């Protein structure tokens, strides 16, 4: 193989591929990437056997071929180069890399040892007309994904594809996020589908989607493929049944508050300074005064009090204690300045949602 690439093109692709390589020391073969010429460009593939990423890199191809390269060594070298032309050539089980000023040699092994790039037989397909719609939707549910492996089903993002809506859901049992993508001019699907993608796959999609180009999705019972302009992400699906999350979301509310998000966020941040080790902040709604009182206290730090005037409130007086981090992270996922906050007392979930109903963030209160 003999190719010539720009340093900038190589660097960006290698940074992405390095994230997909395995850190498992018992399988050193997965510390490599597979570089292969095809159809006027170079394909580079990395995998940790859970997720695989294939990047298409624009290069001048002088001789066809393929090579397996240790990605960490290659990336460290390429990152420290200026944006220059980089020549890559294989000779006698050695990789030769040359620039105007540098020449290096890297020992290589047979590509036959590297895992095959998976080719799935899809049973269902989905097309997102605008890639940035998916990126934003995943960003809104990422921070509610569970990190504990005691219940594997909630360590990923649930997709519920229906005729008129595509729902993305995540929960760690303390909070829950639901984002709804409406079908009109947004996506098409061959069949209804329900599946769970791992957290690592969702996070990688957020990093890699950088244009509004369409995204094609193909899946079967065990695997899913996301095809973008110059990137393909192949991932296993999480098996098992996702909890019946709809049962967690309250269908009625004791108190409904209309909030100006900016002021509420500012006061919660101030209250967090005086919260205890369990990050507790008390929220108390006074209907007749149309105010929300926010308090926190810690024996060593002191006490905090603030009162917010509410544009609108219906229902009854209510108070509850919440983990301030869960409040702030949910509010950060809402772009609108006007937010609806539904409370149900000190022992039942509260809900933040947009007025359009396309996003809901459910937070369990801290029982005191």
pLDDT in tens, 57-105: 999 999 999 999 999 999 999 999 999 999 999 998 899 999 999 999 9
**What's the confidence (pLDDT) of residue 109?**
86
pLDDT at 25: 75
185 pLDDT exceeds 80?
no
- Residue 183: pLDDT band (50, 70, 90) is confident
Reported as a pLDDT band with limits 50, 70 and 90, residue 148 is: confident
Residues 272-317 pLDDT 10s: 999 999 999 999 999 999 999 999 999 999 999 999 999 889 999 9
Q: Among 21-30, 63-72, 101-110, name the one with the lowest average pLDDT.
A: 21-30
Out of 3.40.50.80, 3.40.50.300, 3.40.50.620, 3.10.150.10, the CATH code matching 2-113 is: 3.10.150.10
Residues 54, 60, 66, 67: is their CA dihedral positive or negative?
A: negative
Which two three-digit tokens encode residue 88?
A: 């890559």
Residue ranges of the chain assigned to CATH 3.10.150.10: 2-113, 124-245, 249-363
Please report the pLDDT score of residue 39 as a whole number.
81
The confidence band for 113, taking pLDDT boundaries of 50, 70 and 90, is: confident
| DSSP, residue by residue, 232-264 | EEEEEPPPS----GGGTS-SS-SEEEEEEHHHH
* Percentage, residues of the chain above pLDDT 90: 87
- What pLDDT does residue 308 have? 95
On the question of pLDDT at 30 being above 90, the answer is yes
CATH of 249-363, one of 3.10.150.10, 2.60.40.10, 3.40.50.150, 3.40.50.720: 3.10.150.10
Q: What is the pTM of this model?
A: 0.92
| Mean pLDDT, rounded, of the chain | 94
> Taking the mean position of all CA atoms in its chain, how far away is CA 236?
15
DSSP string, 25-38: TT-GGGGEEEEEEE
User: What is the model's pLDDT at position 342?
Assistant: 96
119 in Cβ contact with 109 (< 8 Å): no
Identify the CATH homologous superfamily for domain 124-245.
Answer: DNA Polymerase III, subunit A, domain 2 (3.10.150.10)
SS3 74: helix
């Amino acid at each position: 193989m003999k190719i010539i690439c720009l340093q900038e093109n190589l660097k960006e692709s290698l940074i992405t591929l390095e994230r997909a390589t395995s850190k498992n020391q018992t399988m050193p073969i997965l510390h490599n990437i597979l570089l292969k010429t095809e159809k006027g460009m170079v394909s580079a593939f990395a995998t940790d056997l859970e997720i695989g990423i294939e990047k298409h890199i624009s290069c001048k191809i002088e001789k066809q071929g393929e090579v397996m390269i240790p990605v960490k060594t290659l990336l460290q070298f390429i990152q420290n180069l200026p944006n220059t032309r980089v020549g890559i050539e294989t000779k006698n089980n050695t990789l030769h890399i040359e620039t105007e000023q540098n020449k290096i040699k890297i020992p290589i092994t047979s590509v036959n040892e590297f895992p095959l790039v998976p080719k799935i037989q899809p049973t269902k397909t989905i097309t997102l007309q605008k890639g940035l719609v998916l990126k934003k939707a995943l960003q809104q549910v990422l921070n509610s994904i569970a990190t504990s492996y005691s219940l594997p089903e909630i360590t990923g993002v649930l997709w519920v594809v229906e005729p008129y809506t595509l729902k993305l859901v995540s929960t760690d049992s303390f909070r829950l996020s639901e984002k709804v993508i409406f079908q009109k001019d947004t996506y098409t699907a061959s069949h209804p589908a329900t599946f769970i993608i791992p957290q690592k796959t969702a996070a990688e999609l957020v990093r890699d989607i950088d244009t509004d180009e369409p995204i094609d999705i193909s899946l079967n019972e065990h695997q899913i493929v996301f095809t973008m302009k110059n990137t393909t992400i192949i991932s296993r699906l999480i098996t098992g049944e996702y909890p019946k999350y709809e049962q967690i979301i309250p269908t009625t509310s004791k108190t409904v508050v209309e909030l100006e998000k900016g002021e509420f966020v500012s006061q919660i941040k101030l209250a967090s300074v005086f919260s205890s080790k369990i990050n507790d902040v008390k929220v108390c709604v006074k209907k007749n005064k149309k105010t929300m009182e926010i308090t926190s206290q810690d024996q060593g730090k002191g006490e905090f009090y603030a009162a917010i005037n509410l544009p609108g409130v219906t229902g009854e007086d209510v108070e509850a204690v919440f983990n301030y981090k869960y409040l702030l992270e949910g509010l950060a996922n809402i772009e609108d300045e006007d937010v609806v906050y539904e409370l149900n007392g000190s022992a039942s979930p509260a809900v933040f949602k947009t007025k359009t109903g396309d996003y809901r963030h459910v937070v369990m209160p801290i029982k005191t």
